[in-house]
A and B are shown apart, each in its own frame.
Chain A
Amino acid sequence: MIVKVRNLVKRYGNLVALDHLSLSVKEGEIFGLLGPNGSGKTTAINCILSLLKYDKGEIEIFNQPMSPDAYNIKRDIGIVMQNVAVYNELTVYGNIDYFCGLYITDKRKRRELVKEAIDFAGLGEYTHFYPKKLSSGLLRRLNIACGIAHKPKLIILDEPTVAVDPQSRNKILEGIMKLNEQGATVIYTSHYMEEVEQICSMITILDKGRAIVTGTKEQLKDMITMGEKITVETFGLSDTQLSAIKGLPNVISVDYKDNLLVIKSSKGRNNLENILDVVKKEDIRFGKIYSELPTLNDVFLEITGKELRD
């Protein structure tokens, strides 16, 4: 086990930021911590890294208890903070070299590692730029390069794609998967379910400091009753027509708002076919009709009763 967290409790006065949180991260995983803002993701990461004192619980990294002076553990951890943490007074190269230098003292080796990190982050053209001259996407990439240059075994990325354009976001996500392929275990926190769904092999959904579910994305989706979401673009539906749809087998809920009919159904082979039959029979005019599998947002919604983005 690369990271093991047991019954972690962290309180800020009366506010319980982490409520008996337990996690296990296996070697080679991309472990996603998914949760809305304020759910305790960053607090959990800070506690894991011993940046914050916690009230209760145990944290082990590489099967050793983690503490602020566990330098042998820290040596193999790379951290990419939620906020960009680079020195504006240093160039792109200078920043990567500085942070890498905190882990690697051998100058020659460091030079190679810095070069690799620059290539990895696609910052080759910007090595002599100061951070203030970089776009937010490039800045995020620099932030990542600073965290991974020393080739750590465990990389912790705390919402690394916040305020990043889609192109840079894709590059960052591709990079994380590449790092994982190269052997690094990754802990990735985000409130973007698409990202977590895209790259994480194991996911824990956090809410109010508690781990509400843990599993692969498939396992998580299996946990909920909804198996399919069918959306029909239509207008002027009568109550009779709506009742006909509600009466179909497997239908859990029907929501008609702003000319969009959203039908949530439990798993079943003919859900879409049944709806199309009703549409035809009731002579419902429609623009588009499409079916979607449940997302992690649906998982979160079903378990907590609220949207991930709330």
Chain B
Amino acid sequence: MQVFKLCMQIIRKNIPVMLIYVILTAVVTALMVSDIDKEYQKEISFTPAKRSIAFISEDNSLLIDGFREALGQIVNFVELDETQLQDALYFREVTYIVRVPAGFTEEFMKGADVKIDKSTVPNSVSNTYIDLFINQYFNTARLYIKNIDGISQELLVQYLKEDLSKTSNAEVKSTTGKKVTYPTYSNNYFNFFAYTLISVIILGMSMLMIVFNDRNLKMRNSCAPVIPGSINLQFILANLFFTFASWAILVVMSFIFNYKNSLNAYTVYFIISSFIYSFCCASISFLIGNLIKSQNAVYAVCNTIGLGSSFISGVFVPQELLSGSILKIASFTPAYWYVKANNAIAKLTQFDYRHLQPIFSDLMIVAGFGLAFFAVALAIGKRKNYIEN
């Protein structure tokens, strides 16, 4: 396995250059993760906002005091006198005015159908929440009064306080009944993956190809008692190993940065998609390696192809924001189909064949690109050998 080992040493020598791309990915991913985390928290968490209300009570009782105290948990009270109330409501200093009429407690304790007066800002959603709370408080109180004869206000307030302090967890469910997950991170990561992977593979493989296509070294190797097929096989194995290792490292990186958001079915499809794309990258690199003769040219081509295809294919800028003509041009690059497949994966709600079929079609196009590049590279390699002989 001399040739295989040699390939590994050549790749190892070029690791510092390749690391630049990996570090860039790591930085972008770290920024992406922190940004997505914030967005994600915003999306999934509920933090009650306290509205400002005015509380006017014409009835003094333990029940009303208890009610005010409980209401104070979800609103801020603004102290206003009678003359300021309408202005405060108009200028949105308060959005809700609660008025407890005189004799309310006495009638309520008797089981009468008495109501609390309210004045609100029209069409305010937050007021519904206050309405719900008030209803909940007095409906619960009514239940106690109805079922416990002669219950005192003090005991009633105590029971209500206990009952209302209890909370329960809510889980957001999708329409299909499955737990909702957010593949935004994986989608963004695996889209950016296209740029990193193609850059790293072009660098690594082209360097290998340049070294192995060196005429003098080729001749020297040909003088050795080694079957050319064995040299070629070891060379192909090394390239495949390098491609696989690059892909695997980048996949592992996606888990390291945000494993919580990566442990889902979407990630499996993203991994499959990136795996197919990685072999397409290998074919492109194989072709480039056959065409290029100097190491400096590799850097130039790597940047041109890596950045160029990424910009027009939606790796950096979402495809939705790119113009139709750019996307038409981009459709001649495998990166476009890869990103398209990834975006489709991110939008999946069900993982059945009907939903997956368009994704597989896109990935087949990526694989087709890979085969086409490989065939062209083989043809060029054969022609070069023919000319050399």
Residues of A within 8 A of B (CB): 46, 49, 51-53, 68-69, 71-72, 74-75, 77, 79, 81, 83-90, 94, 98-99, 101-103, 146-147
Contact = CB atoms under 8 A, between A and B. Distances in A.
Given A49-B223, A71-B225, 19 more contacts: A46-B219, A53-B389, A69-B227, A74-B224, A75-B225, A81-B216, A81-B220, A85-B214, A86-B217, A87-B6, A87-B211, A89-B10, A89-B13, A89-B211, A90-B9, A98-B6, A99-B220, A99-B224, A102-B2
Nearest to A71: B225
A166 B219 CA distance: 28
B226 interface: yes
Contact of B223 (A52, A77, A88, A101): A77
Contacts of B213: none
B206 to A, nearest CB: 14
B226 A102 contact: yes
A147 B2 CA distance: 16
Contacts of A49: 222-223
B223 A74 contact: yes
A81 B220 CA distance: 7
B219 A71 contact: no
B52 interface: no
B224 A84 contact: no
B225 A103 contact: yes
Contacts of B224: 74, 99, 102-103
A46 B218 CA distance: 13
Contacts of A87: 6, 10, 211, 217
Contacts of A71: 225-227
A72 B9 CA distance: 29
Contacts of B9: 89-90, 94
B183 to A, nearest CB: 41
Contacts of A51: 219, 222-223
A99 B6 CA distance: 10
B221 interface: yes
Contacts of B217: 85-87
A51 B13 CA distance: 30
Contacts of B389: 52-53
Interface in B1-55: 2, 5-6, 9-10, 13-14
A74 B225 CA distance: 5
Nearest to A105: B2
Nearest to A50: B222
Interface residues of B, number: 21
Contacts of B222: 49, 51, 68
A86 B216 CA distance: 8
A101 B216 contact: no
Given A53-B389, A89-B9, A90-B6, A72 B219 contact: no
Contacts of B2: 98, 101-102
25 contacts: A49-B223, A68-B222, A69-B227, A71-B226, A71-B227, A74-B223, A74-B224, A74-B225, A79-B220, A81-B216, A81-B219, A83-B216, A84-B216, A88-B211, A89-B9, A89-B10, A89-B14, A90-B9, A98-B2, A99-B220, A102-B221, A102-B224, A102-B225, A102-B226, A146-B220
B258 to A, nearest CB: 36
Q: Indicate the member of B223, B224, B226, B389 with the most A CB atoms within 10 Å.
A: B223
B211 A79 contact: no
B252 to A, nearest CB: 26
A262 to B, nearest CB: 41
A133 B136 CA distance: 84
Contacts of A77: 223
Nearest to B295: A88
A85 B6 contact: no
Nearest to A90: B9
B205 to A, nearest CB: 14
Nearest to B220: A85
Contacts of B211: 87-89
Nearest to A75: B225
Nearest to A94: B9
Nearest to B217: A85
A217 to B, nearest CB: 29
A16 B5 CA distance: 41
Nearest to B228: A68
Contacts of A103: 224-225
A26 B214 CA distance: 33
The 6 A-B pairs with the shortest beta carbon distances in the complex, nearest first, are: A102-B224, A85-B216, A71-B225, A74-B225, A89-B13, A85-B220
B77 to A, nearest CB: 76
Given A52-B389, A81-B219, A85-B214, A72 B6 contact: no
Given A98-B2, A98-B6, A79 B223 contact: yes
B78 to A, nearest CB: 76
A79 B223 CA distance: 7
A39 B13 CA distance: 40
Nearest to B212: A87
B110 to A, nearest CB: 96
Nearest to A97: B2
B232 to A, nearest CB: 14
Contact of B225 (A72, A81, A83, A84): A72
A68 B2 CA distance: 20
Interface in B161-207: none
A23 B29 CA distance: 67
B209 to A, nearest CB: 13
Q: Indicate the member of B5, B211, B219, B227 with the most A CB atoms within 10 Å.
A: B219
